[in-house]
Amino acid sequence: MTESRAFPRFPAGFVFGAATASYQIEGAAREDGRGPSIWDTYSHTPGLVANGVTGDIACDHYHRYPEDVALLRELGVDSYRFSIAWPRIVPDGSGPVNPKGLDFYARLVDELLAAGIEPAATLYHWDLPQALEDRGGWRVRETAERFAEYTAVVAGHLADRVPRWITLNEPWCSAFLGYSVGRHAPGAREGRGALAAAHHLLVGHGRAVEALRAAGVREAGITLNLDRNLPATGSAADRAAVVRADTQHNLVWTEPLLAGRYPHTEEETWGELITGQDFRRDGDLALIGQPLDFLGINYYRPIVVADAPHREPDPALRTATDNRYAEVRLAGARHTAMDWPVVPDSFTDLLVALKERYGDALPPIHITENGSAEHDEVSPDGAVHDRDRVAYLRGHLTALKAALDAGVDVRGYYVWSLLDNFEWAFGYGKRFGIVRVDYDTQRRTPKDSYHWYRAMIAAQRD
């Protein structure tokens, strides 16, 4: 069998892309009027990010974007998903707009279009202006309003050239890693604060969709990191733990967005933390549940869930993620450098289950991220023979095709990530790129996975 025969085949018009995010690659943290974000504050706080690194320089994409767009053109992708740094556009979170920030994204978009690549812009990939966090961050409704204003500014500037817009990336991480687990900026460990953040993120999404529609964009959507939660055993306790995990990871987003309701399992999941939800207002569900042109899904791994006692003995310290479940290591599976199990079938299962649950209310799907961090090594010939990443991508694209064959309307796939980058609290040690970045020299080296993905895209056009 030839190599190209082994590639899964996708329908004509299926979008292949690559994705990145502003704070993870741009650097230039204090240049051209960019204000501080919560990730600047978090990464500069000693002890929070592995090896004490920051995104100050990252991949220096702010200066090297022409080289990175050339890599995308050579890769043959249809689309490039990047994110816009809110603090470059509105440095203080509200008030004056920074024209140099807008100019940077206009230049990037023009470079992409000249290379024949469709831009797909994410408005919020976690770099909240610090000034807004100082006023309560996502715990307060005002942040959703400021997000809508910023969206209107950016869309007013770029809507004519950017066809696909994503309001939020993985709001689960913003709300729960940011305000409950404390492993993402702003590093809070709260109960109701995290639940209020989840709600205000959704309100911000709804207000941003309104702003995108007013600007006349072609496609508006949101990206969720949905989980495929599996019970560790068949016990009733483990199955109940899966319901709680599903509620927090999936239903808290999909129910308001796709079904116009809050999850019916929220009280058994959060107990007193969710009672008397004073952050919810009449009309919010209609705002949040506006029709979308697509749903973005980021998918990496299944999660095996077991019942677990409360981790906090003191109820006063109870956080929104302390809802009696624990993740269990999946025996027998290969694990990536993130220690995530590789189970491609779970990708098919997640998508099919979503279709079964929401039926026609499910908009077309774009897989806005999928990929793996591996223990890459540079060979003596200078290449990176990342066979595990190639196997991961092949497995997941094959699983994705199985979901299409089962009737799920998936329109696109973006590999995460174009470049090795700042992997949040893990720093630069975890490499997700299909292009290696040498952080001392900023030299880019396409890995074997880049060449494999390029050949896979080319084979679709044979």
Q: Which of residues 347-406 bind ligand IFM (CB under 6 A)?
A: 369
Min separation Cβ 351 and ligand IFM, Å = 17
Site for ligand IFM in 298-337 (CB under 6 A): 298
Residue 420 has φ and ψ, to the nearest 5°, of -55, 145
Does the annotation mark 327 as catalytic? no
- CA gap 130, 193 in Å, rounded: 17
Measure the CA–CA gap between 146 and 87, rounded to whole angstroms: 12
Nearer to ligand IFM, 170 or 255 (CB): 170
Contact between 127 and ligand IFM (CB under 6 A)? no
Closer to ligand IFM at the Cβ: 289 or 395? 395
Helices (H), 216-359: 236-246, 252-254, 266-270, 284-288, 345-358
Contact map string, positions 146 to 175, toward ligand IFM, x by CB under 6 A: ------------------------x-----
For residue 122, state whether it binds ligand IFM (rule: CB under 6 A).
no
Residue pair 61/85 in contact (Cβ under 8 Å)? The answer is no
Instruction: Give 207 or 431: the residue with its C-beta nearer to ligand IFM.
Output: 431
- In sequence order, the 6+-apart residues with CB closer than 8 A to the CB of 300 are 225, 338, 340, 369, 370, 371, 372
The contacts of residue 381 (CB under 8 Å, 6+ apart) are none
293 scored as a contact of ligand IFM (CB under 6 A): no
21 interacts with ligand IFM by CB under 6 A: yes
What is the crossing angle of helices 345-358 and 387-405, to 10°?
30
Rule CB under 6 A: say whether 423 interacts with ligand IFM.
yes
Shortest reach from residue 125's CB to ligand IFM, in Å: 6
Least Å distance, CB 369 to ligand IFM, is: 5
* Locus of tokens 């460990």: 189
Q: 170 catalytic, yes or no?
A: yes
Q: Specify the residue for token string 């084979």.
A: 459
- Could you tell me the smallest distance in angstroms from the CB atom of residue 94 to ligand IFM? 25
Smallest separation, CB 371 to ligand IFM (Å): 8
Contacts of 259 by beta carbon, 8 Å cutoff, 6+ apart: 289, 358, 361
Q: Which of 111, 219, 266, 369 is catalytic?
A: 369
Q: Which is nearer to ligand IFM, 130 or 372 (CB)?
A: 372
Q: How many CB atoms lie within 10 A of CB 70?
A: 14
Residue 180 token pair: 């409950």
What tokens were used for 352? Answer: 């099919």
Name 80's bridge partners: 18, 119
Among 170, 190, 219, 423, the one annotated catalytic: 170
Smallest separation, CB 152 to ligand IFM (Å): 25
Q: Which residues are catalytic?
A: 170, 369
Question: Interface residues with ligand IFM (CB under 6 A)?
Answer: 21, 24, 170, 298, 369, 416, 423, 432
